[in-house]
Amino acid sequence: MERVGNLVGWQDIVREEPGKRVLLNGNEAMARGALEAGVHFVSAYPGSPSSEVTDVLAQVSENFNFYVEWSVNEIVALEGAAGASFAGLRALCTMKADGLNVAYDFLTSMNLGGCRGGLVLVVADDPFGHSSLKEYDSRFLAAAAWVPALEPSTVQEARDMVKWAFYLSEQIKGPVMVRSVTRVSHSRGIITLGDIEQTVREADFRPTRQFHTFTRFHQEVRERLKQAEELFAVSPFNFSFGAEKADLTIFTCGPGWLYAKEALTSLQLEDQVKIVRPGTPFPLPKQFILSHLNGAKKVVFIEETRPFLEEKVLAFYALHSENLGQIKFYGKATGHVSGIRGPECGEMNTDIVREVLIGLTGRPYHVPIVSLTKEEKKSLQASLPPRDYMLCPGCPHRASFWVVKSALALEGNNGIVTGDIGCYSMGAMETGFNLFNTLHCMGAGAGIAGGLSKLGAYGFKQPVVTMVGDSTFYHAVIPALINGRWNKANYLCIVLDNGVTAMTGHQPHPGSGKNAVGEEAEVVSIEEIAKSLGFMVKVSDPFRYNQAIQDVLEFIRMPGLKVLIFRQPCALAASREQKRRKVVVRQELCRGDACGCMRFCTAVWGCPANVWDKEREAAAIDPAICVGCGVCIDLCPAGAIVWEGDE
C-alpha cells in the first residue's frame, strides 16, 4: 500500500462499496464526504491537522474526474474554489486554522456577494497545539465573517457534515465552514460509506452573472444566516442525550460530546444529567438551545479551545432569563472548566468533564491509577528526562542553522535571526541551537527583518538574517522582499530549499517540478524570482558548511537585501528514495573525553545519528538512522568520523 503523507490506510475511502464499514481518520472521512457530494474542484494549502483531506483527494481525483490542486497559499486556494463555485460547480477548500487568517480577506468579501455551486471550507483547529504554534478557535472567525459553521464530534459526523455542507451552501448561496479539530481530523474511527453522487455539471458562467462585494449586500447575508439557522434546526446535527429533564445539563460541541458521555457513564449519572449536543455552532439554532435551557438549574459547557458556545448560550439566556428562571453556568469563561494549562488553553478530555461533574454532584470516583503515592509518582516523573523536538537525522536545516550560527559568531556584531514557519521553526529550539530571535507566522520573518534594518537612525547596527522555507517563500515572503527592495531594506534572506512542504507530509510546491496529482509541472525557480527583483542571489549547499559560512559572511557584509538559497533535499524524503554512503567512526582516532571537543558530535551538533557509545566511551554512528549526509565528517575536530571505505 502506498503511503500518502502521514496516511497508510487511505485507499479504503474508495476501495470499498457503499454500505461497508471502514476505518478512516477524520480527514479521510471528510475527503469521502466531499467525494460523496460529487465535488468538482478541490484546492488547499497544507497545514496540520488538515492536510490529509486534500492529500487523499489528490490520489483519487483521476478515478473520479475532478480537479485538485495544492495552491501557493490559502487565499489563492479559496479564490480558486470560489471561481469554480461561481461557475456552478461544487468546490472544497481545506486549511489549518492559521490559514484561515490568510484566506480571511477574501472570505469576508466573497461572502457578501455569495456564490452558486456548493462551496465548503474545511478548517482544522489544533487545540493544545500538537502541531501548531498557537491554539485557535476558528468558530469566532466564522461568526465574524457571517459564514455558517458546522462542528463534527466524530469521524462519522465529519463525513456527514462535509457532505451536507455542500447542500446547505447551495441552499443559501453562500460559503459554509466545517470546523474540525485535531481529535476529529487525526482520530481514526469506523464509518459507513455512502453512495457517491454523480454530479455531472457543465461549468456555466454567463456574462450577466455578477458576484460583487458591496456594503449594501449586508442585509442579504443576514437573511442567508437566518435561512441557515432554519436549516440547521431541522438538520440531524443537533440532539440531546441522557435524562429527559435534568437540573444539570451539559452543552457540548465537537469531541466533547463523547468525553461527556464517558464521564456520565463512569459516574453512573446517565439518568440524572442531560447532554445537549449542537453540531451547528454558528448560527446556533435558538429554539433548540432555549428548549433545553428550559428546566435546567445548572449548565456546564464542554467545547474545544474558547468559550464560543458558552458565550452564545449566555447571550440567549440574557434575553430570556425571565422565562427560564435562575440558571448557574459553568464553563471556560467562568473558569470552571479547565485543563492543566488553565480554562482556555489545551484540549478537552473525559477527565476534565468528570472533575467538573464531581464538583457539582459530589459523586464518588476512584481514579484507578497505579499504586504510587503522590510523592513517589512525582519523583518517578521527575527522574524522566523531558523530550524536546529534534530535527531528523541528516536534516539539512541543522546544517543551515549551524552555518548561520557560526557565521554570525565570526562576524561578531550580535546578528539577529528572524525565523518562520515550517520544520525549521525548530530554529527556535535546542535542536536548532536556539538560533531564532523571532518566530510568528508565515512570512513574518522577512517583514520583521525589513523593519529592523530600517532602524539605523535609532542606533540599530546589527546584521539581520531571516531564514524562510521554500514553500513559505512562495506562500508569503515575496511581498516582503518586494517591499524591502522598494524601501531599501538591508538584510540577508536565506531560503531553506528542501524541495517539498516537509512538515505537513511532503506535499509538492511551485519549486518541486510536479503538482498535487503527481503530474510534471514547471519549476517556478526561487533564484529566478529573486534575481528578477534585482537582488544579489547565490545557491549554496549547507552540507558544504565551510563554503556556506563564507557565503553567509560575504552576503551579510554586502549592503542591501540579498538572497542566499541553501539547497539540500529533505532528509526524510531523500532517505525514502535512496540510501547514501555510510558514515563510520574510526575508533583509533576518537579519543572520547580526552579529545577536548566536549563530545562535539553528540552534545553540540546533536544529530540523532551521532551517538555516544557508553561502553567504549567514544563517539559512534547509529547506522539504523544515519542518512549519510556526511556533515559530521567535516565537523569532527579529530577527523575521526569518515565515510566507510575511507578508513
Partner 1 sequence: MQTESLLKEPVNLIITGVGGQGNILVSEIVAQTGCRQKYNVVVGESYGLSQRGGAVSSHARLFRHQEYGPIIPLGKADIIFGFEPLEAVRQAVDYGHKNSCLIINSHPVYPIGVRRGKNKVPSLELLFKKLREIVAEVLIIPATKLAGQLGEAMVQNVGMVGALAGSGCLPFRADSFIEVIKKVVPPKARALNEKAFYLGLEEVQKIKSLK
Rounded least distance, CB 354 to partner 1, Å = 7
CB of 188 to partner 1, least distance (A): 4
Q: What is the DSSP letter of 391?
A: P
| Residue 517 to residue 508: CA distance in whole angstroms | 9
- Long-range CB pairs of 317-322 (<8 Å, 24+ gap) are 317/293, 320/290, 320/293
- Could you give the string, one character per residue 330-349, with x where binding to partner 1 holds by CB under 8 A and - elsewhere? -----------------x-x
- Segment lying near partner 1 (by CB under 8 A), choices 57-65, 224-232, 242-250, 603-611: 603-611
Give the separation between CA 360 and CA 352, rounded to whole angstroms.
13
Q: Is 413 in the site for partner 1 (CB under 8 A)?
A: no
Among 454, 581, 582, 599, binds partner 1 (CB under 8 A): 599
Nearer to partner 1, 49 or 283 (CB): 49
Residue 372 near partner 1 by CB under 8 A = yes
Alpha-carbon torsion angle 87, 88, 89, 93, nearest 10: 80
Query: Please, are residues 296 and 246 in contact by the beta-carbon 8 Å criterion?
Result: yes
Dump the DSSP string for 46-115: --TTTTHHHHHHHHHHHHHT-EEEE-SSHHHHHHHHHHHHHTT--EEEEEEHHHHHHHHHHHHHHHHH--
573 lies in the site for partner 1, by CB under 8 A? no
Q: Is 195 in the site for partner 1 (CB under 8 A)?
A: no
From the list 309-317, 369-377, 445-453, 458-466, the region that binds partner 1 by CB under 8 A is: 369-377
The nearer residue to partner 1, 47 or 114, going by C-beta atoms, is 47
8-state DSSP, 216: G
**94 in contact with partner 1 (CB under 8 A):** no
Q: How far apart are alpha carbons 220 and 211 in whole angstroms?
A: 13
Q: Which of residues 616-645 bind partner 1 (CB under 8 A)?
A: 624-625
Q: Is 385 a residue that touches partner 1 (CB under 8 A)?
A: yes
Question: Among 350, 351, 345, which Cα is nearest to 332's?
Answer: 345
Question: Does residue 569 touch partner 1 according to CB under 8 A?
Answer: no
Alpha-carbon distance of 10 to 55, in angstroms, equals 9
- Give the residue, chosen from 43, 132, 240, 466, that forms a contact with partner 1 under the rule CB under 8 A: 132
Give the footprint of partner 1 on residues 37-66 (CB under 8 A): 48-49
In whole angstroms, what is the distance from residue 419 CA to residue 22 CA? 42
CA dihedral 41, 45, 47, 51 (to 10 degrees): 30
Q: Does 17 bind partner 1 (CB under 8 A)?
A: no
- Of the candidate spans 16-24, 290-298, 402-410, 461-469, the one that interacts with partner 1 by CB under 8 A turns out to be 16-24
Under the criterion CB under 8 A, does residue 27 sit at the interface with partner 1?
A: no
Point out which span in 367-375, 402-410, 512-520, 580-588 binds partner 1 (CB under 8 A). 367-375
- Does residue 615 belong to the site contacting partner 1 (CB under 8 A)? no
* Residue placing its CB nearer to partner 1 in the complex, 22 or 300: 22
Based on CB atoms, which residue is closest to partner 1, 258 or 416? 258
Residue (245 or 387) nearer to partner 1, CB:
387
Q: Which of residues 285-324 bind partner 1 (CB under 8 A)?
A: none
Q: Does 23 bind partner 1 (CB under 8 A)?
A: yes
Contacts of 160 (CB under 8 A, 6+ apart): 33, 152, 236, 237
Phi, psi values for residue 465, rounded to 5°: -120, 135
Kindly state whether residue 243 participates in binding partner 1, applying the rule CB under 8 A.
no
85 binds partner 1 (CB under 8 A): no
503 binds partner 1 per the rule CB under 8 A:
yes
Of the candidate residues 43, 71, 94, 154, the single one contacting partner 1 (CB under 8 A): 154
Task: Specify the residue for cell string 447575508.
Answer: 221
**DSSP per residue, 278-330:** ES--BT--HHHHHHHHTT-SEEEEE-SSS-HHHHHHHHHHHHHHHHH---EEE
In terms of CB distance, is 186 or 562 closer to partner 1? 186
Cell numbers for 575? 532517505
The residue within the footprint of partner 1, chosen from 219, 371, 414, 578 (CB under 8 A), is 371
Exactly one of 312, 354, 398, 506 binds partner 1 (CB under 8 A); that residue is 354
Which stretch in 241-249, 254-262, 401-409, 444-452 sits in contact with partner 1 by CB under 8 A? 254-262
Q: Is there binding between residue 596 and partner 1 (CB under 8 A)?
A: no
Measured between alpha carbons, how far apart are the two ends of the chain, in Å?
A: 40
Residue from the set 79, 230, 247, 262 that interacts with partner 1 by CB under 8 A: 262
